[in-house]
């Protein structure tokens, strides 16, 4: 197969139920367009029949390029593996394997790319998740926008069309704790949003637990904001200010009213205040130390167990250490 113009990347984890729908819609899309397209499916250590279905498909249809990771590395690292494997000479189209990101929007994204945009990111006009998740996403994006040192667009996820030159830069970025939508914004170049209504999952259940969502949010906040470290200084200054005010009140009462507050309550207040500030400070420092620790190890971001390209099994080129 000649080098494709566009690579469509979809990470998969236990998506046996949605897999036939995904393949049907992607195949129909490729048949309807004059563009040369490959689909890069990344199996993120699935425990169901997803990997078997991917192998069968890739051996029969050369348009499907399948990457199999050695274990479950997580959504962001699976996407990272897909970006590294993609051969599209013009751009890469990133979608979710559950079809909440409609692949049929590729022509609309590509039209904007042809107008000179290096990144076309999707902006969610409406979400189908439950109230708790919708509220959490809404608050997180607005918090991140208010504290980040880069202008990360509101309500935009990984669903996007990214030019080849931006993908090449992202592939060189060495972060161990990945937040791809932040990295994509940080790279710069000409970017624009495209509004769409996010669909419900076509089948199965979401694989993103609340714990994973919190980890992703942490990566966004700690990797693209100076706020946590500056917060410690502000919290310390605030605590000292409160303590000084309290000290002045006690001093005034002693000098002018001979009515000094008895010790236990005052002591308890001061201990709780300063202990709380110190614990928060240690926790924030610990987050940074932990990230430095994992980054300094220099381990591969992911390990490829198997790869099928152009209908043939390819020897995986491990290890990816950037």
> What's the pLDDT tens digit per position in 25-50?
999 999 888 888 899 999 988 888 98
My answer on whether 106 and 245 are in the same domain is no
60 belongs to a structural domain:
yes
For residues 13 and 72, the answer to whether their CB atoms sit within 8 Å is yes
Select from 230, 231, 221 the least CA-distant residue to 142.
Answer: 221
SS3 label, residue 155? coil
For residues 261 and 226, the answer to whether their CB atoms sit within 8 Å is no
Give the Cα separation of 77 and 96 in Å (integer): 13
Residue with more model confidence, 162 or 256: 162
SS3 label, residue 163? strand
* Domains contained in the chain, number: 2
250 belongs to a structural domain:
yes
Q: Is 45 left (phi over 0), alpha (psi -120 to 50) or beta?
A: left
**CA distances for 150 relative to 24, 26, 185, 189, 266, angstroms:** 38, 34, 7, 13, 43
Give the Cα separation of 69 and 58 in Å (integer): 15
Q: Indicate the pLDDT class of residue 92, thresholds 50, 70 and 90.
A: very high
pLDDT for the residue 53: 92
My answer on whether 279 and 291 are in the same domain is yes
Q: Which residue has 């991140």 as its token pair?
A: 144
With the CA atoms of 30, 32, 36 and 39 taken in that order, what torsion angle do they form, in degrees rounded to the nearest 10? -10
pLDDT for the residue 126: 67
DSSP 285: H
My answer on whether 127 and 186 are in the same domain is yes
1 belongs to a structural domain:
no
Give bridge partners of residue 191 from the DSSP assignment.
119
The structure's pTM equals 0.72
Phi and psi (nearest 5°) for 26? -70, -40
My answer on whether 49 and 110 are in the same domain is yes
Q: CATH number, domain at 24? A: 3.90.550.10
- Residue 87's domain spans which residues? 6-225+301-314
CA atoms within 13 A of residue 189's CA, in its CB half-sphere: 19
SS3 label, residue 28? helix
pLDDT for the residue 212: 60
pLDDT for the residue 322: 44
Q: Indicate the pLDDT class of residue 320, thresholds 50, 70 and 90.
A: very low
Residue with more model confidence, 212 or 293: 293
My answer on whether 65 and 82 are in the same domain is yes
Residues of the chain with pLDDT > 90, as a percent, come to 16
Label residue 170 exposed, middle or buried (CB < 10 Å: 0-12, 13-18, 19+).
Answer: buried
Q: Which of 98-107, 207-216, 229-238, 249-258 has the lowest mean pLDDT?
A: 207-216
My answer on whether 128 and 251 are in the same domain is no
My answer on whether 121 and 256 are in the same domain is no
Label residue 129 exposed, middle or buried (CB < 10 Å: 0-12, 13-18, 19+).
Answer: middle
pLDDT for the residue 3: 76
321 belongs to a structural domain:
no
Q: Which of 44-58, 87-101, 264-278 has the lowest mean pLDDT?
A: 264-278
My answer on whether 197 and 241 are in the same domain is no
DSSP 118: S
My answer on whether 217 and 237 are in the same domain is no
My answer on whether 125 and 186 are in the same domain is yes
320 belongs to a structural domain:
no
319, pLDDT greater than 60: no
My answer on whether 210 and 241 are in the same domain is no
| Mean pLDDT, the chain, integer | 79
My answer on whether 243 and 202 are in the same domain is no
**CA distances for 322 relative to 150, 171, 182, angstroms:** 22, 8, 17
The pLDDT tens digits for 150-200 are 777 776 778 899 999 999 998 988 887 787 888 888 888 898 888 887 776
260, pLDDT greater than 60: no
Give the Cα separation of 166 and 173 in Å (integer): 11
């Amino acid at each position: 197969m000649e080098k494709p113009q566009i690579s469509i990347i979809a990470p998969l984890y236990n998506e046996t139920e949605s897999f036939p729908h995904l393949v049907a819609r992607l195949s129909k899309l490729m048949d309807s367009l004059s563009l040369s397209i490959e689909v890069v499916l990344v199996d993120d250590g699935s425990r169901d029949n997803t990997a078997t279905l991917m192998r069968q498909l890739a051996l029969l249809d050369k348009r499907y390029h399948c990457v199999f990771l050695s274990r479950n590395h997580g959504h962001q690292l699976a996407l990272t593996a897909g970006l590294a494997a993609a051969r599209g000479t013009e751009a890469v189209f990133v979608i979710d394997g559950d079809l909440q990101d409609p692949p049929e929007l590729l022509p609309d994204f590509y039209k904007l790319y042809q107008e000179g945009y290096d990144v076309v990111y999707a902006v969610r006009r409406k979400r189908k998740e439950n109230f708790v998740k919708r509220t959490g996403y809404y608050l997180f994006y607005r918090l991140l926008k208010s504290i980040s040192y880069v202008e990360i667009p509101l309500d935009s996820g990984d669903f996007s069309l990214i030019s080849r030159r931006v993908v090449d830069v992202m592939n060189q970025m060495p972060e161990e704790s990945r937040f791809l939508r932040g990295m994509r914004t940080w790279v710069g170049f000409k970017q624009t949003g495209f509004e769409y209504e996010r669909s419900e999952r076509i089948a199965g259940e979401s694989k993103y637990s609340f714990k994973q969502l919190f980890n992703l949010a942490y990566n966004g906040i700690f990797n693209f904001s100076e706020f946590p470290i500056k917060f410690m200084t502000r919290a310390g200054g605030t605590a000292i200010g409160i303590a000084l005010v309290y000290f002045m009140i006690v001093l005034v009462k002693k000098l002018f009213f001979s009515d000094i507050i008895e010790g236990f309550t005052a002591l308890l207040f001061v201990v709780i205040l300063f202990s709380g500030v110190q614990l928060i400070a240690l926790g924030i420092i610990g987050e940074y130390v932990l990230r430095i620790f994992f980054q300094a190890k220099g381990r591969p971001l992911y390990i490829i167990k198997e790869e099928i390209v152009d209908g043939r099994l390819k020897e995986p080129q491990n290890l990816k250490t950037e």
